[in-house]
Structures are given as structure tokens and as C-alpha cells.
Structure 1
Amino acid sequence: MIVRKGFKYRIYPNQEQQRKLAVQFGHARYIYNWGLGQSQDKYPGYNHLAKQLPILKKTSETTWLKEAHSQVLQQSLKDLDRAFQNFFAKRGGYPHFKSKRAKQSARYPQPKESWIAPDGRRIQLSKVGHVRLVLHRPLEGVMKNVTVSRTRSGRYFVSIQVEIEMATPIFAGGAVGLDLGLREFATLSTGEKIAPPQYYRKAQKKRRRLARQLSRKKLGGHNHEKARLRLARLDEKISNQRRDFHHKLSRMLVEENQFIGLEDLNVRGMLANHHLAKSIGDAGWSAFVTMLGYKGEWYGCQVEKVSRWYPSSKTCSVCGTKMEAMPLNVRIWQCPMCGTVHDRDVNAAINILKQSTAGAVENNAWGQSVRPSTDGYAGRTRKPTRFSGW
């Protein structure tokens, strides 16, 4: 099967190349904001806005747009179109204007293999030049587009999307139910519990101190910029730590199991609870579930979701008795009908597995039997330390 993957590398442009990249970033941002301004009453669509680009370049006030790569401007309008499509499909909020103080990016849609030097130390970017590249892992597949970005901390990266042919996955392993939570990041139906890393909470004290230092600096001064960079570097470190944890855990789960069942959580609605919002945001459930989905397709693991209204926590996994109420502070409870003592999270994970595999346990989509995982980790708590790649 043919899939699309992204390879992200660090680049080190010199001062002149940084200036040229700033031109590409600034022009792409201007076109995005211009298109959003044209869509205040009604979104006219990508085709209508793209036809106005040549006219906009000939206008005396915006002739400087010719300095930018034409396809970079078109891709910026495509990003705006995707943002509106997500808004119409209720997958995201209304698009916002971009700021030069946020993360910057520009995308080249038709790269060539010759852009990367044979020794892998340089990459050629149109209207920028040959930029120093750190190719820390080999690039595979056929290049489809190249995105250059600059983070808030001033680091530059290039993300190369490729099409790669992967062997049809062999579905092997067991089935496991997954209950995501805050006390434990994930509880498996086998009884195994994954401890929450809580990277944001661990760095919260230092972050508050850096934020106070930034607030005391005069806006526009050198000290203000240095304080802003210190805070941005910390935020970037927290984000990288969380992403690394998600990648390792999701890869480990899809390699060990043939089937994963989990809840369809309404994360956006749960973030409205101000008592739990910080912990929910620190966990990053949405990004983790997304990784499980596409990695499951790559490596032979089916991921199914059950309804968020399914009472997994207060239903006995042995006899099916449903409790009328189950407060969050109740972690251990006993079924009044069969007398089974349940761990709240383990019981929920078992019920999620049963519900997600209903009608497909004996004969699933690949004609193989799906069995609960018996990897011997019942009752243990571990961290996903084993890592063989994303």
C-alpha cells in the first residue's frame, strides 16, 4: 500500500538566508490574512481568491509580492481553504489572522529530488539558496512537498512529505481496551497502567518565573526579546517531550496488539471544565488518538472507538450490572449482583474492549480471531521506554 509520511529535519540558514526566509514567511502570512479579510462576509472559495493573486501582484501597493515564490502564496490560500473546510465541518473554530510573533511556515508543493545535495548536508530552497541541513535519518519515498518553518524560539526546520510504498501489514497479536484518564494516562484491559508524564506541571514553576521576568521587560527592548526566547524554548521543550511520549507509547501499543478499542472522547467539551482543563491539556489525548489511528493502518492494528455515552466505568464487566451513579472519587467498587470487586479504570477498559469488538471478536475484518492480549503485564505500571522508531 502507498502511504504518505513526513520527515522533519533541522536546518541552519545563515543571516542572509534567514532574511530571505523571512520574506517568504511574511508574504505567505500576508496572503493568508488578505484572503481571510476578503472572507469576512462570505468565504468566496480558493479558486476565486487564487485568480486575484496575479492582479494583486500588479497593484502598486503590493508589487513586493513578486519577491515571494508564486506557489508559496498559492499554498497559503490552500491552508486558508482547509481552515474554512474544517470550520464548516465543525472540526475546528473560525480561522484567525496570523501574527508574525507566532510560528512561521512556507510550503513548496513541487520539490525535486535534486534539491537535497548528494552528501545530505544541503537543501536548495527556491529564492533562498542552499541551506545547511542535518539529515539525521535517511529520506525514503518520493518527495511531494517541502515545508520550511521557524518556531517561536527561532529554530528552523524543514518537513518533507513523501509517498512511500509499504508492505501490506500482517495483522497479528491480541486485542486490548484502552481507557484514557488523568490519574493514569492510559489503563489497559490487561490491568496494565501507563503513568501520566505531566511534563507541563513539572515545568510549571519554572515557566511562571520566566513569564514574570518577561512581563517586567520593556516591550521592544533586547532584554524583552531574550526573556521571550527563554520562555519560548521552555514551551517548545514541553511540547517535544509530550510528542515523544505519545509517539513511543502509540508505536508500542500498535506493535503489540491487533485490535485497540477506546472511547470517543469529547476533549473540547471537557476542556470547558476549569478544574480539569490544565491536566487534560497536559495529557494531549487528541494527538495521541490521532497517532494511534494512522500508525494502526501502517503496522496492522485496527483502532475502533465506542460512543462517549457508553457507561464503561459504572457497568460490571462480569455480569453487566449498571450502577446508577459512580462519582469520580470512587476508584474501587463492588458489584451488588455478583460481588466482583472492580478497579474503576481497569473495569472501564475491559468494557470498552467488549463494546468495540462486539460482533467482530470471532471473525474480524481480516478473517482472523481477535484474542485479548496476555502479555503478562496485569496489575503493573510501566513507561513506554522501548522505541524502535515512529
Structure 2
Amino acid sequence: MKARYQYRFYPTDQQQQSLAQLFGCVRVVWNDALAICKQKELLPSNNDLQKLVITQAKKTVEREWLSVVSNIPLQQSVADLGVAYKNYFDSLKGKRKGKKVGKPKFKKKTNQQSARFRIGGFSIKGHEVYLTKIGNVKPIWSRDLPSGFTSFDSTETAKTRTCSPSSPTSVTVIKDCANRYFLSFVVEIDPVCIDAKNQSIGIDLGIKTFAVMSNGEKAESPDYSRLDKRIRKLQKKLASLPKDTKRRNRTRIKIAKLHNQITDTRKDFLHKLSTKVVSENQAIVLEDLNVSGMVKNRKLSRAISLQGWREFRTLCEGKSEKLNRDFHVISRWEPTSQICSECGYKWGKLDLKIRSVQCLNCRTEHDRDENAAKNINKVGIGHCHDSKRTQREGKTGTPAHLSEVSRITEASAR
């Protein structure tokens, strides 16, 4: 399986200028190739596009500065455009799973910038990574890079790292909107076998309480409200500033830095939680959530978008593959919050304000989220109660409301 390893680095002033030229050339080649594709009825091949936007463009006065940077990232930019169009057409034909992929768009100077170096355009020696026509950069090796690469102590002398057959075949240089620089490697790793403490676990995702486990554990979501309020305030200020001004650019960078703080906080929380869940359980069961439909609720859309439910699912799925775990996702139509996890009695839909309810059949008191997590676990491992038989034995009731005190033991906002 493939895994991504990303490291931050701090380029010198000269390297920043060289990287700015590289990002600009990669962006121009992408935009020129995309403009040609939109004019043609049939999509040109990558070789034809490279001849038009790189080889022939370098001979013109308008694009002669493309020769200043390495040719490898320029060729890779055209190849990435071909992959983007392939994903778009596969999505239209239904060959690609997940959300529909839109058409490739033109790249902007103010968005995240990136350039990819293949073999021949970079090398790893000692603590440093050499990039063609950029020079040696020193990333912060926060963790070991697989494939024979080892970490170094500050007291050690520089050693040469020789690339093995499974070494990284490419490296992507990234500059985000807050002017931070990263090196991103994608390497092939082997799955690891680690014994799990528990057989299986079901997880119910929420807003205030991010995750409620079937074993009774809860994971509280970090508080993003303070940073989110500052972002909304600065966004209002940004809307009133004239374009192409220094003040607007400074405000834009401030907003980007606040977004990065939220992203880093969320990513740290999700990584730690997913690692804990996957390492302790052999089978992980989640519920398929219709997030795109849920964000249409204007009152909850911003809070839902900040949680990162999809990112958590992706992390759990990837780490499950790495540790040889079983990962299951049950249907979103399973009535996990409408069925008693003890006897299987179905009491119907519950108002969102209802957080605790007592079963009419077995008289067991349930926390709403914990009961749903237990049902998710049972459906995921294939040991669900026969709810139809239980309904025939018990009395079928109507959905509970806040006025029914005998059935609802606690009502509060989630």
C-alpha cells in the first residue's frame, strides 16, 4: 500500500525566489494546456500538449522564461492535467466511486502552489533533499521516511542516503496559502500485523461529542468557535477591501493562517483518535453519513463542516489497511437510533433534542448516541437483533416527543 510522508522546510530567500518562478511556470503551463483542451473538440494527447505548451512555447518571446526552471515539473503538470480529465470522464460514466468530479479549472496565483519532481529531478543526501535548479533544502525530519531511510540525531554527521528500489519515485513541493513550504513523499509500505485488544467497535459520529463508541467511550470534539469567529470577522473586512492592494493581501494571509490553525488542530485530533481506535480493535464499523445533504441545514452547516467526519473515515480506512484490520461502513438507512440495542424493539424516530430514552419492551434506559453506536457495531459484524419478531411480541408505539416524560429520560441540545 502507499502512504504519504510530508515534511516542512524553510527555504532561503534565494530559494524562495526560485520556487516562486517554478510555481509560476508550472501554473502557466497548466493554464495554457487547459485553454487548448477547451478549444479542441477532441482531447489532445499529453505528448502533443507538451510540444505546444513547453517545447514550442520556449521558442517564443512571451514564454522564453520557461527555460529558467527545470523541465521535469512542467512535463508533470501536463501529465496531471491528463489525469484530471480522466477522473472527470470516469466520474461522468460512473466508473469512479464517490462524489462527482468536476472539470479541471484554471490555477490562481493566490491559491496553494505545487510542483512535482520525478526521478532525475531530485535526490536525498544526508539531511538534505536536492531539487534541480533550486538547490539543497533541509526539511524537518519529524519521522523516519521508510524504504531504508533512517532518522538522524543533531549530533550525528551528515550521511548519504542511498535510494533502494522501493524509495520515493517523486517528491511534491507545496506552498500553502499561508506561505508555508512542504515536501511530500509517497512511498510503498508493507502492512503490519499487531494484535488487537478488542474484537470490534461501532462508532456514532456527532457534533458536540465527535465520536461515541459502542464500549461507552466518548471523544469530545475540539472547540473551533474562537478561531471561526475571527475568520468570519476578517472575511467581512476582506470583502470591503479593494482588489490588488497590500492591505487586502495581508488580510488574506491572516485568514489563511487561521484556517491552517483549525486544520492542524482538527488533523492532530483525528489522527490521534483514529490511531487509538484502529490499534485497539480488530473490526471498525462506521455509519455512511450523507454529509452533502446535512450541510444544507443552515443552522448546522458550519459546525458540520468543521468536524471532518469524512477525513476521519478516510484515516480509519487507511490505517485499517496498514494494520490488517477489518473496516466496515453500514448503510445510512439503517435505523440505528430507532432500535433498542438490548432487545431489538423498534420505537420509531426520535427528535434531535432527545438524548436519552427508555425502551417500552425491556425497560432499559439508553443514551441515544451510545445505543446507536452499539447498533452500528451489531449491524457491521452481522449480529443484528430480529427487530420484526420483537415488534410482534411487544407493543408498537409512535415516535417519542419531548412531552412523553415516561419514555424520555433526558432532553438536551446535542
TM-score (norm 2): 0.78
Matched to 1:131, the amino acid is V
How does 1:1-390 map onto structure 2 within 5 Å?
3-40=1-38, 44=42, 48-56=45-53, 57-59=55-57, 60=60, 61-87=62-88, 88=91, 89=96, 91-94=99-102, 95-110=104-119, 115-118=123-126, 120=127, 122-141=128-147, 142-170=167-195, 173-199=198-224, 201-215=225-239, 217-358=241-382
What is the identity percentage for the equivalent residue pairs of Structure 1 and Structure 2?
35
1:89-142 Cα shifts (integer Å, max 9, x gaps): 353431332211011001112268x82332x1x321112112233223332211
Instruction: Specify the SS of the correspondent of 2:209.
Output: coil
Q: Contact conserved, 2:192 with 2:324, CA < 8 A, in 1? A: no
Residues 255 and 154 (structure 1 numbering): CA distance in 2 closer, same or farther, change over 3 Å? same
The offset of 1:354, in angstroms, is: 0.6
Distance in 2 of aligned mates of 1:324 and 1:352: 16
The offset of 1:305, in angstroms, is: 0.5
Larger deviation: 22-31 or 345-354?
A: 22-31
Distance in 2 of aligned mates of 1:10 and 1:74: 25
1:287-319 Cα shifts (integer Å, max 9, x gaps): 110000010111232110000111111112122
Instruction: Specify the SS of the correspondent of 1:258.
Output: strand
Instruction: Specify the SS of the correspondent of 2:3.
Output: strand
Instruction: Specify the SS of the correspondent of 1:303.
Output: strand
Higher relative CO (Cα under 8 Å, sequence separation at least 6) belongs to 1
Residues 115 and 173 (structure 1 numbering): CA distance in 2 closer, same or farther, change over 3 Å? same
Residues 44 and 132 (structure 1 numbering): CA distance in 2 closer, same or farther, change over 3 Å? farther
The offset of 1:19, in angstroms, is: 1.9
Distance in 1 of aligned mates of 2:210 and 2:327: 18
**For structure 2, which runs of at least 5 residues remain unmatched after alignment?**
148-166, 385-414
Distance in 2 of aligned mates of 1:49 and 1:132: 33
Matched to 1:140, the amino acid is P
Q: Contact conserved, 2:192 with 2:323, CA < 8 A, in 1? A: no
Residues 49 and 111 (structure 1 numbering): CA distance in 2 closer, same or farther, change over 3 Å? closer
Distance in 2 of aligned mates of 1:176 and 1:39: 49
Q: Contact conserved, 2:339 with 2:348, CA < 8 A, in 1? A: no
Matched to 1:103, the amino acid is Q
The offset of 1:179, in angstroms, is: 0.6
1:128-172 Cα shifts (integer Å, max 9, x gaps): 112233223332211221010111111111112222345445455
Matched to 2:188, the amino acid is E
Instruction: Specify the SS of the correspondent of 1:116.
Output: strand
Distance in 2 of aligned mates of 1:273 and 1:209: 22
1:372 is matched with none
Residues 269 and 148 (structure 1 numbering): CA distance in 2 closer, same or farther, change over 3 Å? same
Instruction: Specify the SS of the correspondent of 1:152.
Output: coil
Distance in 2 of aligned mates of 1:341 and 1:79: 55
The offset of 1:18, in angstroms, is: 1.5
- Aligned pairs, number: 353
Matched to 2:16, the amino acid is Q
Instruction: Specify the SS of the correspondent of 1:25.
Output: helix
Instruction: Specify the SS of the correspondent of 1:137.
Output: coil
Distance in 2 of aligned mates of 1:306 and 1:355: 7
Matched to 2:140, the amino acid is V
Distance in 2 of aligned mates of 1:183 and 1:285: 13
TM-score (norm 1): 0.82
2:387 is matched with none
Matched to 2:234, the amino acid is L
**For structure 1, which runs of at least 5 residues remain unmatched after alignment?**
361-390
Over alpha carbons, which structure has the higher Rg? 2
Larger deviation: 14-23 or 230-239?
A: 14-23
Distance in 1 of aligned mates of 2:318 and 2:211: 19
Q: Contact conserved, 1:111 with 1:144, CA < 8 A, in 2? A: no
Q: Contact conserved, 2:178 with 2:257, CA < 8 A, in 1? A: yes
Q: Contact conserved, 1:111 with 1:143, CA < 8 A, in 2? A: no
1:366 is matched with none
Instruction: Specify the SS of the correspondent of 1:203.
Output: helix
The offset of 1:216, in angstroms, is: 5.1
Instruction: Specify the SS of the correspondent of 1:332.
Output: strand
Residues 272 and 77 (structure 1 numbering): CA distance in 2 closer, same or farther, change over 3 Å? farther
The offset of 1:271, in angstroms, is: 1.9
